[in-house]
Chain A
Amino acid sequence: EVRLVEYGGGLVQPGGSLRLACSASGFTFSVFALHWVRQAPGKGLEHVSTISTNGNSTYYEDSVKGRFTISRDNSKNILYLQMSSLRVEDTAVYHCVKDGYAVAGTGSYLEYWGRGTRVIVSS
């Protein structure tokens, strides 16, 4: 059974930092692209970041570029999202997502999702 469990969320002041982590099990972690997708309170889904299997290729949504860093540890089956210079508008539940393929691209899909970890940015 595929399991994705996020942790590391919490309450942080604007300008602060958090590191989210996602512990994965039930599949061969190193051969799938991974994503972070967030959902602001009462809002829809927003694709935030993606990382390739070996970590050499990454994507960031425009509003988080330069502030967030995605990484992965294939030896420990953990996905990370380092978030800095946090803004009120970053408040959301952050979901860790496994792609259906090794390479995220045309035709790939978001196969398994974690329940998410809540990040609240507020003074």
Chain B
Amino acid sequence: DIQMTQSPSSVSASVGDRVTITCRASQDISGWLAWYQQKPGKAPNLLIYAASSLQSGVPSRFSGSGSGTDFTLTISSLQPEDFATYYCQQADSFPPWTFGQGTKVDIK
């Protein structure tokens, strides 16, 4: 199975900050990566698919980049509703889908 490693595990930031989360795959996954946001007690929400395609309805402050083994999720200007945990998921080798361990974004 492809292993996904996110960094950092947590980040403290303020409203308005630029936040960057990285995700590394254990092997080349081309551009087949998705990002999800999860708030406590809620369902995960798809933000980005195919590494850089913004899901419909997701604010444009979210962006994704990368290919091969290294990927990035960027929040250009952190908003109060963005405090959450973010997961990456490889969509190259199925089955299984595998996820990163998550990055918690909390208030500084």
Contact = CB atoms under 8 A, between A and B. Distances in A.
B43 A115 contact: yes
Number of contact residues on A: which range applies?
A: 20 to 34
A105 B90 CA distance: 11
A35 to B, nearest CB: 8
Interface stretch (A13-21, A43-51, A71-79): A43-51
Contact of B99 (A46, A109, A111): A46
B43 A106 contact: no
B98 interface: yes
Tell me the dominant secondary structure on chain B's binding face.
loop
Contact of B44 (A106, A108, A113): A113
Interface residues of B, number: 26
Contact of B42 (A44, A45, A115): A115
A59 B96 contact: yes
Interface in B63-108: 87, 89, 91-102
Contacts of B44: 45, 95, 110, 113
Contact of B91 (A4, A37, A95, A106): A106
A107 B87 contact: no
Contacts of B95: 47, 50, 59, 104
Interface of A: 4, 35, 37, 44-47, 50, 59, 61, 95, 100, 104-116
16 contacts: A45-B44, A45-B89, A45-B102, A47-B96, A50-B95, A59-B96, A100-B49, A104-B94, A106-B91, A108-B91, A110-B89, A112-B46, A113-B43, A113-B44, A113-B45, A116-B43
